[in-house]
Structure 1
């Protein structure tokens, strides 16, 4: 189900320029405050040797594709910046040193620490290395400024399809054509027209926000200040990858009156509760990213969030029937401007805020306490590079290392990302609270107990 809300519709950009969205603008402005704190990563594990040349060929397709874009700012603060095709990219990062098989997850994480520059178009990087067992590991990392999960998937499907068909890298005939043109002689007039367009959008947004001022979203729980464990000043969030049989997953979800999304949410809330982050009986705010991407959609970010409340109980599993009903109600609410929270209508106003003001708000903003992303059956669509089929395919958001005080300040909780093929579920779990998920081992211990409560059999990497 695609949710299209008047608060986040795109509209045709004047003069044909691909103007950035409110989400693009937010990620772009926050990039200067928290550079590359959150990135998207595609990760592969192959049992065969791919070789550098094959990855270099894929790199060439990516360099003319959907994520090969740069932000071009405007002369007028009111007019939106726009996307232009990038003329440069970060080179392929290839290592000749074999990676130990037990160190694959750590290698994936290391590749996610990339210095991006959205204004130059340095917003993605491809990397690969052999493994000690004779296979290959590969990752593609992209800045959230340049794409959300759906945008990254579109870029991957298009570029791999062209590579596997033996086509020549070409921006004009690939998804790269959607990025938009380079601003020409009419740029000044286009910016003036967009400034007028934005002022009208602000007026409409303010009126809609006033009409929806009685609409509220589920509240989040404040983060307890204790315990406060000893950590170094810089902390890497705990993360793990776990796989399960899809048939078992579907059977457990159905047995409890739920769906894939419901079981994912139930596991996340249960693990958060077991960590001590929330009290017995608390209503947990769960945020579910929801794609609004359409065919031939030029937007970098085209995602909205559906928030619901889920009750945690120490002695019981989450009620998946209630979760299912609440998700349906949240989806319906976001179709109607009258039931969309005012903050969504005010996105055009947010785009007018200068970076310094947004930075001030960002320092007091809070991260989701529980974030559950369902990427669906994506693995089989992108599992082949050339003649090689991957043993494992992972799509995930990565929270990079940062000051431990910052993680406590923004009150990061737990993030789960789900993807699957026809046989296997892959969950990527990130614990962003340094005092509830201090290490990978601690996170795995909590998850093991939660899986057991549902009768699930996990296989941890």
Structure 2
């Protein structure tokens, strides 16, 4: 049964950041097909997405302190279809260009599906989503659900029970339409007053927990070095790469140094930050590791927490993989217990009720992660097949969008890595978002090549 689905503290924070910075950060699910895909198929895929879990919009509550809630969207951005084929060396630029989109969480325009043919006869497909309305887990669930319904339409059409050309009006009557997204409260005033009371109790509980956990600390981030800035244009696009590697070779390298698959990913991120000169010798780099909290039939747009660990960088040496493994284990155990969870985590209910101008002031002085490492494993393979067409590669990554060059320096953003695999090949997305330490894609590629070679790994770049 669909119920009222209030925004979480993470949803609320991303919504406030959207109002301040716009689409500074989006998520991208990207498919690379070696075969052509018909536009009609993608139109039908778009229709299923437009009536599923991603199709949500924010409705603000009129009662003070009551949380906004999600409603099924009634609008979506149309499929972006470019009929002009692109060449191999234009692929990365095309994927990045899809991040240039204006989202509006209040209308439900929070995702865009795009596609383009390649000169080699393949097809590139991109789904860019607003972080306000979905984290990576929500995107994978929504796409998997849409693909299941798309396949179901194909089977129904082939058996003659109904046509595959399903209209949007018909689609909105599907049991999946609005499923888990939420509905408006039946008695709005009463429901919102009740929620406002719950929020006040949550704030009080959070403050008490924060006081109890005031001695709990987490790794500090390194301040950005005060070096002369490079001569760059006023607006800048972060350097991005996609590299493919052999999974067996990756795991062999990790095992040879007493590490794990995930540990080597973290080591690679920390090593790249150190090689760039962004941190110095013996620096303890803060690495943030996204960890999904999503449960079955979870209605939340964002259900991810971050595990921060400290990784020591030593110039000319590989990162210590056993130390990384121990740090990850310690952080995971700590975040399961409120008593060992940092105080700031307990104050999320307070964040939701603070006036917008106060949060905007905090946001303007907040810092971005210096190193973010996301390991999606084989989860993206659940959406690799679109109606019988199997993608040669699937990639999921955060995209740091084009913005003011000085803004990147002010928030001190560093580097992010996103890891996916099909069980044989790793597809690794790397983004260097510090304009003075990763000024160009060529600079980033040189650093990535050197770091991978130090582990005995051979990269194959897109």
Distance 1:188 1:16 in 2: 16
Look up the SS of the partner of 1:177 in the other structure: coil
Distance 1:225 1:242 in 2: 31
Pairing 1:379–2:380 present: yes
Number of the residue aligned with 1:106? 93
Look up the SS of the partner of 1:198 in the other structure: helix
Pairing 1:251–2:252 present: yes
Distance 1:194 1:347 in 2: 16
Per-residue CA distance 1:314-358 (angstroms, 9 max, x = gap): 121111111101101100000100000000000000001122111
Q: Verify the 8 A CA contact 1:292 1:304 in the aligned structure 2.
A: yes
Deviation at 1:172, TM superposition (A): 4.8
1:136-285 alignment runs, 5 A limit: 136-166=123-153, 169=171, 172-174=174-176, 176-184=178-186, 186-285=187-286
Deviates more, 1:370-379 or 1:163-172: 163-172
Deviates more, 1:71-80 or 1:163-172: 163-172
Deviation at 1:113, TM superposition (A): 1.1
Deviation at 1:175, TM superposition (A): 7.3
Deviation at 1:110, TM superposition (A): 0.6
RMSD (Å), alpha carbons: 1.4
Distance 1:409 1:211 in 2: 33
1:12-31 alignment runs, 5 A limit: 16-31=3-18
Look up the SS of the partner of 2:153 in the other structure: coil
1:271-350 alignment runs, 5 A limit: 271-350=272-351
Deviation at 1:145, TM superposition (A): 0.2
Q: Verify the 8 A CA contact 1:171 1:177 in the aligned structure 2.
A: no
Distance 1:381 1:335 in 2: 28
Distance 1:345 1:28 in 2: 19
Distance 1:171 1:250 in 2: 47
Number of the residue aligned with 1:406? 407
Q: Verify the 8 A CA contact 2:140 2:380 in the aligned structure 1.
A: no
Deviation at 1:173, TM superposition (A): 2.6
Look up the SS of the partner of 1:166 in the other structure: helix
Runs of 5+ consecutive residues of structure 2 not aligned to the other structure: 155-165
Look up the SS of the partner of 1:158 in the other structure: helix
Distance 1:206 1:28 in 2: 23
Distance 2:460 2:194 in 1: 55
Look up the SS of the partner of 1:178 in the other structure: coil
Deviation at 1:166, TM superposition (A): 2.3
Distance 2:221 2:190 in 1: 45
Number of the residue aligned with 2:44? 57
Distance 2:175 2:263 in 1: 40
Q: Verify the 8 A CA contact 1:64 1:171 in the aligned structure 2.
A: no
Decide whether aligned partners of structure 1 residues 162 and 407 sit closer, same or farther in structure 2, where only a CA change above 3 A counts.
Answer: same
Decide whether aligned partners of structure 1 residues 173 and 255 sit closer, same or farther in structure 2, where only a CA change above 3 A counts.
Answer: farther
Deviation at 1:170, TM superposition (A): 5.1
Number of the residue aligned with 1:3? none
Distance 1:448 1:227 in 2: 26
Deviation at 1:34, TM superposition (A): 0.7
Deviation at 1:255, TM superposition (A): 1.4
Deviation at 1:422, TM superposition (A): 1.5
Q: Verify the 8 A CA contact 1:155 1:175 in the aligned structure 2.
A: no
Number of the residue aligned with 1:397? 398
Distance 1:140 1:104 in 2: 15
Per-residue CA distance 1:21-67 (angstroms, 9 max, x = gap): 00000000111111111001011111111121000000111011111
Distance 1:175 1:420 in 2: 31
Distance 1:188 1:67 in 2: 27
Deviation at 1:306, TM superposition (A): 0.3
Q: What's the TM-score, normalizing by structure 2?
A: 0.95
Deviates more, 1:205-214 or 1:154-163: 154-163
Deviates more, 1:44-53 or 1:296-305: 44-53
1:46 to 15, 29, 33: 33
Look up the SS of the partner of 2:224 in the other structure: coil
Q: Verify the 8 A CA contact 2:309 2:328 in the aligned structure 1.
A: yes
Pairing 1:76–2:63 present: yes
Look up the SS of the partner of 1:16 in the other structure: coil
Q: Verify the 8 A CA contact 2:63 2:189 in the aligned structure 1.
A: no
Deviates more, 1:165-174 or 1:426-435: 165-174
1:123 to 105, 110, 129: 110
Pairing 1:455–2:442 present: no
Number of the residue aligned with 2:73? 86
Deviation at 1:187, TM superposition (A): 1.0
The alignment covers a number of residue pairs equal to: 447
Q: What's the TM-score, normalizing by structure 1?
A: 0.95
Q: Verify the 8 A CA contact 2:29 2:394 in the aligned structure 1.
A: yes
